[in-house]
Structure 1
Amino acid sequence: MKPWYHSIKVTATAALLLLAANSANAQDSWIIKESPASVEITADKLEAAIGAAGATVFARIDHAAGAKSIDAELEDMTLVVFGNPKIGTPIMQAEPRAGLDLPIRVLIWEDQGQTKIGYLDPDALQERYSIEGADQSFMTMKGALEKLTNAATQ
Protein backbone atom coordinates (compact mmCIF):
# COMPACT_ATOMS: atom_id res chain seq x y z
CA MET A 1 0.00 0.00 0.00
CA LYS A 2 1.37 3.39 -0.97
CA PRO A 3 1.56 6.14 1.65
CA TRP A 4 -1.26 8.70 1.57
CA TYR A 5 1.11 11.53 0.63
CA HIS A 6 2.10 9.71 -2.58
CA SER A 7 -1.48 10.12 -3.86
CA ILE A 8 -1.45 13.81 -3.03
CA LYS A 9 1.86 14.29 -4.84
CA VAL A 10 0.63 12.49 -7.95
CA THR A 11 -2.68 14.39 -7.93
CA ALA A 12 -0.96 17.76 -7.45
CA THR A 13 1.50 17.03 -10.26
CA ALA A 14 -1.30 16.07 -12.63
CA ALA A 15 -3.26 19.19 -11.73
CA LEU A 16 -0.26 21.44 -12.33
CA LEU A 17 0.38 19.86 -15.73
CA LEU A 18 -3.25 20.39 -16.68
CA LEU A 19 -3.09 24.02 -15.56
CA ALA A 20 0.09 24.64 -17.53
CA ALA A 21 -1.48 23.18 -20.66
CA ASN A 22 -4.57 25.36 -20.20
CA SER A 23 -2.52 28.56 -20.20
CA ALA A 24 -0.34 27.50 -23.11
CA ASN A 25 -3.38 27.58 -25.40
CA ALA A 26 -3.73 31.33 -24.85
CA GLN A 27 -0.37 32.39 -26.31
CA ASP A 28 -1.78 35.61 -27.72
CA SER A 29 -2.73 36.63 -24.17
CA TRP A 30 0.75 36.08 -22.78
CA ILE A 31 3.15 38.70 -21.56
CA ILE A 32 6.66 37.54 -22.45
CA LYS A 33 9.98 39.15 -21.50
CA GLU A 34 13.60 38.25 -22.13
CA SER A 35 16.14 37.62 -19.41
CA PRO A 36 19.91 37.97 -19.77
CA ALA A 37 20.45 35.13 -17.26
CA SER A 38 19.91 31.37 -17.48
CA VAL A 39 16.56 29.74 -16.78
CA GLU A 40 17.78 28.59 -13.36
CA ILE A 41 19.11 32.01 -12.31
CA THR A 42 15.99 33.76 -13.62
CA ALA A 43 13.80 31.33 -11.63
CA ASP A 44 15.94 31.90 -8.53
CA LYS A 45 15.52 35.68 -8.90
CA LEU A 46 11.77 35.27 -9.38
CA GLU A 47 11.48 33.12 -6.25
CA ALA A 48 13.49 35.66 -4.24
CA ALA A 49 11.28 38.52 -5.47
CA ILE A 50 8.12 36.53 -4.65
CA GLY A 51 9.36 35.88 -1.11
CA ALA A 52 10.35 39.51 -0.62
CA ALA A 53 6.86 40.57 -1.73
CA GLY A 54 5.23 38.37 0.91
CA ALA A 55 3.72 35.84 -1.48
CA THR A 56 4.16 32.07 -1.30
CA VAL A 57 5.89 29.81 -3.82
CA PHE A 58 3.84 26.61 -3.94
CA ALA A 59 5.87 24.74 -6.53
CA ARG A 60 8.86 24.97 -8.82
CA ILE A 61 8.65 22.42 -11.59
CA ASP A 62 11.69 21.60 -13.73
CA HIS A 63 10.16 20.35 -16.98
CA ALA A 64 13.58 19.55 -18.48
CA ALA A 65 14.36 17.27 -15.53
CA GLY A 66 11.04 15.53 -16.10
CA ALA A 67 11.93 14.94 -19.73
CA LYS A 68 15.36 13.65 -18.74
CA SER A 69 13.71 11.14 -16.41
CA ILE A 70 12.24 9.42 -19.47
CA ASP A 71 15.42 9.77 -21.54
CA ALA A 72 13.99 12.62 -23.60
CA GLU A 73 15.45 16.05 -24.23
CA LEU A 74 13.82 19.37 -23.55
CA GLU A 75 15.37 22.82 -23.43
CA ASP A 76 15.62 24.27 -19.92
CA MET A 77 12.10 25.08 -18.75
CA THR A 78 10.84 25.85 -15.25
CA LEU A 79 7.34 26.61 -14.04
CA VAL A 80 6.97 28.65 -10.84
CA VAL A 81 3.56 28.46 -9.14
CA PHE A 82 2.87 31.08 -6.50
CA GLY A 83 0.22 33.27 -5.00
CA ASN A 84 -1.14 35.45 -2.26
CA PRO A 85 -4.60 34.71 -0.82
CA LYS A 86 -5.24 38.45 -0.44
CA ILE A 87 -5.21 38.72 -4.24
CA GLY A 88 -6.59 35.35 -5.37
CA THR A 89 -9.41 34.85 -2.87
CA PRO A 90 -11.57 37.80 -4.04
CA ILE A 91 -11.20 36.58 -7.63
CA MET A 92 -12.34 33.06 -6.72
CA GLN A 93 -15.16 34.48 -4.58
CA ALA A 94 -16.39 36.34 -7.65
CA GLU A 95 -15.98 33.27 -9.89
CA PRO A 96 -14.94 29.92 -8.42
CA ARG A 97 -13.91 28.53 -11.83
CA ALA A 98 -10.96 30.95 -11.79
CA GLY A 99 -9.44 28.52 -9.30
CA LEU A 100 -8.40 26.46 -12.33
CA ASP A 101 -5.96 29.24 -13.26
CA LEU A 102 -4.89 30.20 -9.76
CA PRO A 103 -2.44 30.26 -8.11
CA ILE A 104 -0.44 32.26 -10.61
CA ARG A 105 1.99 30.45 -12.89
CA VAL A 106 5.07 31.91 -14.54
CA LEU A 107 6.97 29.90 -17.14
CA ILE A 108 10.70 30.44 -17.70
CA TRP A 109 12.23 28.72 -20.72
CA GLU A 110 15.14 28.72 -23.12
CA ASP A 111 14.24 29.57 -26.70
CA GLN A 112 17.11 29.29 -29.18
CA GLY A 113 19.67 30.33 -26.59
CA GLN A 114 17.52 33.17 -25.16
CA THR A 115 15.89 32.88 -21.74
CA LYS A 116 12.27 33.99 -21.74
CA ILE A 117 9.80 34.48 -18.93
CA GLY A 118 6.08 34.63 -19.52
CA TYR A 119 2.66 34.54 -17.94
CA LEU A 120 -0.98 34.87 -18.85
CA ASP A 121 -2.12 38.48 -18.81
CA PRO A 122 -4.48 38.92 -15.83
CA ASP A 123 -6.85 40.81 -18.16
CA ALA A 124 -7.24 37.59 -20.18
CA LEU A 125 -8.02 35.66 -17.00
CA GLN A 126 -10.66 38.22 -16.04
CA GLU A 127 -12.14 38.08 -19.53
CA ARG A 128 -12.02 34.26 -19.74
CA TYR A 129 -14.41 33.96 -16.80
CA SER A 130 -16.28 37.27 -17.23
CA ILE A 131 -15.36 38.18 -13.68
CA GLU A 132 -16.93 41.25 -12.16
CA GLY A 133 -16.38 42.56 -8.67
CA ALA A 134 -12.69 41.75 -8.28
CA ASP A 135 -11.17 44.62 -10.27
CA GLN A 136 -8.82 45.68 -7.46
CA SER A 137 -7.43 42.15 -7.18
CA PHE A 138 -6.78 41.99 -10.93
CA MET A 139 -5.07 45.39 -10.85
CA THR A 140 -2.91 44.25 -7.94
CA MET A 141 -2.11 40.95 -9.69
CA LYS A 142 -1.15 42.75 -12.89
CA GLY A 143 1.16 45.15 -11.02
CA ALA A 144 2.70 42.35 -8.97
CA LEU A 145 3.44 40.20 -12.02
CA GLU A 146 5.02 43.13 -13.80
CA LYS A 147 7.19 43.97 -10.78
CA LEU A 148 8.17 40.38 -10.00
CA THR A 149 9.06 39.43 -13.57
CA ASN A 150 11.01 42.67 -13.99
CA ALA A 151 13.00 41.78 -10.86
CA ALA A 152 13.65 38.31 -12.30
CA THR A 153 15.01 39.73 -15.55
CA GLN A 154 17.42 42.25 -14.02
Structure 2
Amino acid sequence: MQKLKLMAIAAVLATTAVHTPATAAPLPAPAADSGIVRVQSAYGVDETVARIEAAVAAKGIKFFSEIDQSALAQGAGISLPRSTLVQFGNPPLGIQFLTANPYSGLDWPVRMLVLQDADGKVWVAWTDFHYIAHRHHITNRDAQFKMASDVAASIARSTEGQ
Protein backbone atom coordinates (compact mmCIF):
# COMPACT_ATOMS: atom_id res chain seq x y z
CA MET A 1 0.00 0.00 0.00
CA GLN A 2 2.80 2.41 0.93
CA LYS A 3 4.52 1.63 -2.38
CA LEU A 4 1.32 2.46 -4.31
CA LYS A 5 0.99 5.79 -2.51
CA LEU A 6 4.59 6.67 -3.33
CA MET A 7 4.08 5.70 -6.97
CA ALA A 8 0.96 7.89 -7.16
CA ILE A 9 2.79 10.84 -5.63
CA ALA A 10 5.70 10.34 -8.05
CA ALA A 11 3.30 10.27 -11.00
CA VAL A 12 1.66 13.53 -9.91
CA LEU A 13 5.03 15.20 -9.40
CA ALA A 14 6.31 14.00 -12.78
CA THR A 15 3.18 15.26 -14.54
CA THR A 16 3.40 18.60 -12.77
CA ALA A 17 7.08 19.00 -13.63
CA VAL A 18 6.56 18.16 -17.29
CA HIS A 19 3.66 20.57 -17.66
CA THR A 20 5.14 23.44 -15.69
CA PRO A 21 6.37 26.02 -18.19
CA ALA A 22 10.05 26.73 -17.55
CA THR A 23 10.04 29.90 -19.62
CA ALA A 24 6.89 31.52 -18.26
CA ALA A 25 8.75 34.45 -16.71
CA PRO A 26 11.58 36.43 -18.26
CA LEU A 27 15.04 35.89 -16.84
CA PRO A 28 15.48 38.44 -14.06
CA ALA A 29 18.63 40.50 -13.81
CA PRO A 30 20.87 39.30 -10.99
CA ALA A 31 20.41 41.13 -7.69
CA ALA A 32 23.02 43.81 -7.11
CA ASP A 33 24.42 41.99 -4.09
CA SER A 34 24.40 38.49 -5.64
CA GLY A 35 27.95 38.61 -6.95
CA ILE A 36 26.73 37.57 -10.40
CA VAL A 37 28.26 39.22 -13.44
CA ARG A 38 26.59 38.73 -16.81
CA VAL A 39 27.00 39.82 -20.39
CA GLN A 40 24.71 39.26 -23.33
CA SER A 41 26.11 37.03 -26.04
CA ALA A 42 25.68 37.88 -29.71
CA TYR A 43 25.40 34.17 -30.52
CA GLY A 44 23.28 31.13 -29.78
CA VAL A 45 24.07 28.84 -26.87
CA ASP A 46 26.19 26.36 -28.85
CA GLU A 47 28.29 29.06 -30.53
CA THR A 48 28.67 30.91 -27.24
CA VAL A 49 29.96 27.78 -25.52
CA ALA A 50 32.31 27.12 -28.45
CA ARG A 51 33.66 30.68 -28.25
CA ILE A 52 34.25 30.37 -24.52
CA GLU A 53 36.10 27.08 -25.05
CA ALA A 54 38.21 28.65 -27.83
CA ALA A 55 39.05 31.71 -25.70
CA VAL A 56 40.03 29.45 -22.79
CA ALA A 57 42.29 27.39 -25.07
CA ALA A 58 43.84 30.51 -26.63
CA LYS A 59 44.85 31.69 -23.16
CA GLY A 60 46.42 28.33 -22.31
CA ILE A 61 43.87 27.74 -19.56
CA LYS A 62 42.73 24.22 -18.70
CA PHE A 63 39.17 23.39 -19.78
CA PHE A 64 37.60 20.95 -17.33
CA SER A 65 34.02 20.30 -18.36
CA GLU A 66 30.84 21.28 -20.12
CA ILE A 67 27.55 20.30 -18.48
CA ASP A 68 24.38 20.56 -20.55
CA GLN A 69 21.87 21.28 -17.79
CA SER A 70 18.98 21.32 -20.25
CA ALA A 71 19.77 17.75 -21.30
CA LEU A 72 19.92 16.70 -17.66
CA ALA A 73 16.52 18.29 -17.07
CA GLN A 74 15.08 16.61 -20.15
CA GLY A 75 16.34 13.26 -18.85
CA ALA A 76 14.37 13.93 -15.67
CA GLY A 77 11.24 14.81 -17.64
CA ILE A 78 11.50 18.52 -16.85
CA SER A 79 11.52 21.37 -19.35
CA LEU A 80 14.39 23.82 -18.90
CA PRO A 81 15.50 26.55 -21.30
CA ARG A 82 18.96 26.07 -22.79
CA SER A 83 21.54 26.16 -20.01
CA THR A 84 25.15 24.96 -20.16
CA LEU A 85 27.73 25.23 -17.41
CA VAL A 86 31.40 25.34 -18.41
CA GLN A 87 34.28 24.92 -15.96
CA PHE A 88 37.86 25.96 -16.55
CA GLY A 89 40.84 27.31 -14.70
CA ASN A 90 44.52 27.90 -14.29
CA PRO A 91 45.57 25.53 -11.47
CA PRO A 92 48.64 27.57 -10.41
CA LEU A 93 46.35 30.58 -9.93
CA GLY A 94 43.28 28.82 -8.53
CA ILE A 95 45.25 26.82 -6.00
CA GLN A 96 46.40 30.10 -4.44
CA PHE A 97 42.81 30.76 -3.42
CA LEU A 98 42.48 27.27 -1.97
CA THR A 99 45.61 27.77 0.13
CA ALA A 100 44.12 31.00 1.50
CA ASN A 101 40.84 29.27 2.40
CA PRO A 102 40.12 25.63 1.50
CA TYR A 103 36.36 26.36 1.32
CA SER A 104 37.01 28.55 -1.69
CA GLY A 105 37.15 25.22 -3.52
CA LEU A 106 33.37 25.55 -3.64
CA ASP A 107 33.93 28.32 -6.21
CA TRP A 108 36.90 26.86 -8.13
CA PRO A 109 37.47 26.02 -10.87
CA VAL A 110 35.90 28.99 -12.62
CA ARG A 111 32.33 28.38 -13.74
CA MET A 112 30.53 30.24 -16.49
CA LEU A 113 26.87 29.64 -17.14
CA VAL A 114 25.53 30.08 -20.66
CA LEU A 115 21.76 30.36 -20.62
CA GLN A 116 18.95 31.39 -22.92
CA ASP A 117 16.06 33.46 -21.63
CA ALA A 118 12.39 33.41 -22.63
CA ASP A 119 13.05 36.08 -25.27
CA GLY A 120 15.76 33.98 -26.91
CA LYS A 121 18.61 36.15 -25.62
CA VAL A 122 21.73 34.26 -24.58
CA TRP A 123 23.65 35.31 -21.49
CA VAL A 124 27.04 34.44 -20.04
CA ALA A 125 27.12 34.66 -16.25
CA TRP A 126 29.77 34.01 -13.63
CA THR A 127 30.50 34.87 -10.03
CA ASP A 128 32.46 38.07 -9.45
CA PHE A 129 35.86 37.20 -8.02
CA HIS A 130 35.83 40.06 -5.52
CA TYR A 131 32.54 38.60 -4.25
CA ILE A 132 34.26 35.21 -3.92
CA ALA A 133 37.13 36.84 -2.01
CA HIS A 134 34.67 38.49 0.36
CA ARG A 135 32.62 35.30 0.74
CA HIS A 136 35.69 33.33 1.79
CA HIS A 137 37.37 36.14 3.76
CA ILE A 138 40.44 36.09 1.52
CA THR A 139 42.18 39.42 1.95
CA ASN A 140 45.72 38.63 0.86
CA ARG A 141 45.25 37.69 -2.81
CA ASP A 142 44.06 40.96 -4.40
CA ALA A 143 46.40 40.75 -7.40
CA GLN A 144 45.32 37.17 -8.10
CA PHE A 145 41.63 38.03 -7.85
CA LYS A 146 42.14 40.96 -10.21
CA MET A 147 43.90 38.68 -12.67
CA ALA A 148 41.06 36.13 -12.47
CA SER A 149 38.49 38.91 -12.97
CA ASP A 150 40.31 40.30 -16.00
CA VAL A 151 40.66 36.86 -17.59
CA ALA A 152 36.98 35.98 -17.02
CA ALA A 153 35.84 39.30 -18.50
CA SER A 154 38.10 38.76 -21.50
CA ILE A 155 36.71 35.28 -22.08
CA ALA A 156 33.13 36.56 -21.77
CA ARG A 157 33.87 39.38 -24.24
CA SER A 158 34.66 36.74 -26.87
CA THR A 159 30.90 36.08 -26.99
CA GLU A 160 29.77 39.67 -27.54
CA GLY A 161 30.54 39.78 -31.26
CA GLN A 162 32.47 42.41 -33.18
TM-score, normalization by structure 2: 0.76
1:71 aligns with 77
Runs of 5+ unmatched residues, structure 1: 1-23
1:18 aligns to what?
none
What number of residue pairs does the alignment pair up? 131
In 2, Cα distance between the equivalents of 1:117 and 1:69?
A: 24
Distance 1:52 1:142 in 2: 17
Whether contact under 8 Å (2:113, 2:124) holds in the other structure is: yes
Q: What is the CA deviation profile of residues 97-132 of structure 1, one whole-angstrom value per residue up to 9, with x for unaligned ones?
A: 101110010000001211011001001000001102
Of the structure 1 ranges 127-136 and 57-66, higher mean CA displacement relative to structure 2 is found in 127-136
The letter of the residue matching 2:148 is M
Match of residue 150 from structure 1 = 157
Alpha carbons 2:43, 2:159 under 8 Å: kept: no
Change (3 A) 1:27 1:44: farther
Higher relative helix content:
1
The aligned counterpart of 1:50 is 56
Displacement of 1:63 in angstroms is 0.5
Aligned-partner Cα distance in 1 for 2:134–2:32: 12
The answer on whether the counterparts of 2:41 and 2:159 sit within 8 Å (CA) in structure 1 is: yes
Equivalent residue for 1:99, pick from 95, 100, 105: 105
CA distance in 1, matches of 2:102, 2:85: 23
